[in-house]
């Protein structure tokens, strides 16, 4: 009964701990659109780091609880002497240690979700700032919104490349940008 109970308890604990492992950032953080991005309307994406912070806290708590559970499942780890009753509880302590390992494993996807959330919200904030600066007339800020460097505009006398644009005020004539 001891080992089977431990395995059953570990499987139940796995199901319970993987439930929140989807990660708030993967569920609630909206990515910014891919370039090219127009000057208006405003970009709609998530700038708040609330979801990644929640993922970070949850991952830390799960990992900490898992490590504490693994340590607590081993009586020798805390300096308790093993008596004649150790054999009776060996299956139970193994099941508890497996549960602790499951808790630690459940923290991993939450940590990845947090990383995704931090990176995505940072990208969103940068693009929103660039969009605002571009609309305000700071031409250099428009480059990240346009995407590839070839779409940033070509100077007069540069040879036209398909998919590129001439800089504002220049026109394309016979494959060259002209003022």
- Per-residue model confidence as pLDDT tens for the chain (179 residues): 445 555 566 666 665 655 555 788 999 999 999 888 887 788 999 999 999 999 999 999 999 999 988 887 776 655 556 665 565 556 667 778 888 888 899 899 999 999 999 999 999 999 999 888 888 888 777 877 887 554 444 454 555 444 455 565 555 555 555 66
Measured torsion, CA atoms of residues 60, 63, 67, 68, in degrees rounded to the nearest 10:
50
Contact in structure between 69 and 99 (CB atoms under 8 Å):
yes
pTM of the model: 0.66
Task: Looking at the chain, list the stretches that DSSP marks H as alpha helix, in order from N- to C-terminal side.
Answer: 2-18, 24-28, 50-73, 86-135, 143-146
DSSP 41: S
The pLDDT assigned to 158 comes to 52
What's the rounded Cα separation, in Å, for the pair 125 and 158? Answer: 34
The pLDDT assigned to 45 comes to 95
The pLDDT assigned to 99 comes to 85
The pLDDT assigned to 111 comes to 94
The pLDDT assigned to 136 comes to 84
**Domain range annotation of the chain:** 2-139, 148-179
CB atoms within 10 A of CB 124: 21
């Amino acid at each position: 009964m001891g080992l089977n109970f431990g395995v059953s308890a570990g499987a139940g604990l796995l199901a319970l701990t993987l439930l929140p492992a989807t990660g708030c950032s993967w569920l609630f953080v909206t990515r910014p659109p891919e370039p090219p991005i127009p000057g208006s309307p405003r970009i709609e994406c998530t700038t708040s780091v609330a979801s990644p912070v929640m993922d970070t806290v949850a991952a830390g708590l799960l990992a900490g609880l898992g490590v504490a559970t693994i340590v607590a499942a081993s009586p020798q780890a805390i300096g308790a002497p093993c008596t004649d009753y150790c054999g009776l509880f060996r299956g139970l302590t193994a099941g508890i240690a497996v549960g602790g390992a499951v808790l630690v494993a459940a923290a991993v996807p939450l940590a990845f979700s947090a990383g995704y959330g931090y990176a995505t919200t940072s990208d969103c904030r940068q693009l929103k700032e660039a969009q605002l600066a571009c609309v305000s007339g700071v031409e250099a800020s428009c480059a990240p919104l346009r995407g590839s460097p070839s779409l940033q505009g070509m100077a007069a006398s540069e040879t036209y490349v398909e998919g590129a644009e001439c800089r504002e005020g220049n026109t394309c004539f016979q494959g060259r940008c002209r003022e």
